[in-house]
A and B are shown apart, each in its own frame.
Chain A
Amino acid sequence: MRALIIRQLLAIAVTVILGGLLCAIFVRVAPGFDVDIQQLDSRLSAQTLEALRAKRQSSRNIFAFYGQYIRNAVHGDFGKSLVSDHSVRGLIAERLPATVRVAGGGLALAWLAAFSLAMWVMVLRSRAADIFAMSAASLFLALPAAVIGLACVVADAPPLLAIAAIVSARLFPYIRGVLTRTGNMPHVLAARARGTGELRILFLHVLPVAAQPLLAIIGISVAIALGADLPVEALCGIPGIGQLAWQAALGRDLPVIVTLTVLVTIITVTLNSACDVAAEAVRGQHA
């Protein structure tokens, strides 16, 4: 187990470093990196415009930039935003609480909702319940994230409900599928034939077996939540990480985008690795 944990930690470190580098390359290669929106201001002289261009000089050689970035990051310095000149660390620290509230709260609610709905369908074993649940999930799947977010604004509802709706719509079909397949396994059929109650079947026979594939999706659900968080925050004006990422993307703000990508990679990869370790521990226990 210790060897597994060390391997996972090394894998996380390599993935994060590679992820940051890939992201930096994407941003550097994307058109519009070398420009600033202020270049359209007809009042600015050639010298001022040259100074604006020079601001991005240090980021042009992407490998040199990234090497320096990693060296500074180890000391907690993630550089300065190319757009606002504020420290990246300060920007993220200020906005993180809003995102934790919206995306984190939404994600937790999504899991609760999707899981509860899937269990309800499983226990009832009713076609009508299944159709109702699938229709509800389909409805939220079919709505653009921006529309769900704006609907929350119009209804004066907390934006985390938008994240919960978006994520649960994607979680529910998968959770339902896993529980249904597990519910059709021989040992479950045997338990049912013996007259075991549905709730007992669910908690003692279905959930333990379904745990591994369900754990596998935790990391993805975090990625989905963070992905949904961006349009919801950007469109609803929530001053969180999603809005920062959107503004950084529009401004080709390399230090901010790389730092946010590294952060998202750390969270996603760590969660997935933790799930893998947990799954391994569960397998070990059963063995």
Chain B
Amino acid sequence: MTSLQKFAALILTGIALATVLSVAMLRTNYATQFRNIPNAEPSRQHWLGADDLGRDRFARLAYGTAVSLSLAPIAAFISVILAACIGGVAGYLGGTWERIITAAVELVLCMPWLFLLIAVRAMLPLNISPLLSVIVTFSLLGSLGWAASARVVCASVSSLRNSEFILRARASGTPNWRLLLVHLLPNLKPVLGAQFLISVPVFILTEANLGILGLGVSEPLPSWGSLLTELESMHGFGSAPWKLVPLVLLVLVVISFQLIISSDEVSA
């Protein structure tokens, strides 16, 4: 690991640790409404002030970070695995199979998947717990968000398929499964890594947009998505810059992810 990778990993670890510690040691519940101090400024009791319902912003940020940081990467992982399987098989098989699978991928890309999410949400019981609803939301995002990555994986596998080391391995009688897992997959790591890193913030942001449609996290559970919806009111940030903290945290996390991967490539 280069020093930059270490630094980025340190930041991520630090944020994760800080989140766990904050959640464990919080004196204030994220749902408690202090109604006499809505939109309060930061103070000793409320380090990041209070939101529009008087709820402690720091507590909500800590819980929201925990929710988004744990679920978005899982969703991204699901989507990358699906992309690797579908795109990998398509690119490896080539020919008609590649065309059929690629067409199916394009079909999925063009679909208004929003309606599928709405339909699934409507089938969920109304009294589902907020945590379960957010798990379902992120799982769905992961299951539907593989298409763009699959096409990229397919193109990469397609170009690797006829490379010398693959031809040599095939000529020496290596079975297909071994070709895929031992020879192709390691060479796909950078592509899959890039797709994973792109997907994590995309899923966090998609969850925020879904919140507007009622597919996000149920109250009172916070997530980065629900915290970021405050940004849609552009006024007031000059006088309340602490409202930007979730955004700053998100950017920090994303950049850290990117630095880890980018350092890998630059050092090679």
Contact = CB atoms under 8 A, between A and B. Distances in A.
Contact of B251 (A138, A219, A257): A138
A84 to B, nearest CB: 19
Interface residues of B, number: 50
A87 interface: no
A216 B113 CA distance: 22
Contacts of A249: 112, 114-115
Contacts of B118: 30-32
Interface stretch (B47-55, B133-141, B172-180, B193-201): B193-201
A261 interface: yes
The residue in B107, B112, B266 that gathers the most chain A C-beta atoms within 10 A of its C-beta is: B112
Given A15-B107, A184-B268, A217 B262 contact: no
Interface string A131-151: 100110111011111110011
Contact of A138 (B152, B209, B234, B255): B255
B205 A216 contact: no
Interface string A256-267: 010001001100
Interface stretch (A58-66, A72-80, A173-181): A173-181
Interface string B113-140: 1111011001000000000000000000
Contacts, number: 153
A144 B250 CA distance: 11
Interface string B78-121: 00000000000000000000010011001101111111101100
B103 A220 contact: no
Nearest to B151: A220
Contact of B255 (A11, A15, A135, A272): A135
Contact of A223 (B112, B148, B198, B232): B148
B201 A212 contact: no
Given A130-B266, A131-B259, A223 B247 contact: no
Interface in A219-234: 219-220, 223-224, 231
Contacts of A108: none
Given A30-B115, A212-B155, A15 B198 contact: no
A244 interface: no
A220 B148 contact: yes
Nearest to B106: A269
A22 B111 contact: yes
A134 B255 contact: yes
Interface of A: 7, 11, 14-15, 18-19, 22-23, 26-27, 29-32, 127, 130-131, 134-135, 137-139, 141-147, 150-151, 153-154, 170, 173-174, 176-177, 180-181, 184, 212-213, 216-217, 219-220, 223-224, 231, 235, 245, 249, 257, 261, 264-265, 268-269, 272
Interface of B: 4, 99, 102-103, 106-107, 109-116, 118-119, 122, 148, 151-152, 154-156, 159, 190-191, 194, 197-198, 201-202, 205, 208-209, 228, 231-232, 234, 247, 250-251, 254-255, 257-259, 262, 265-266, 268
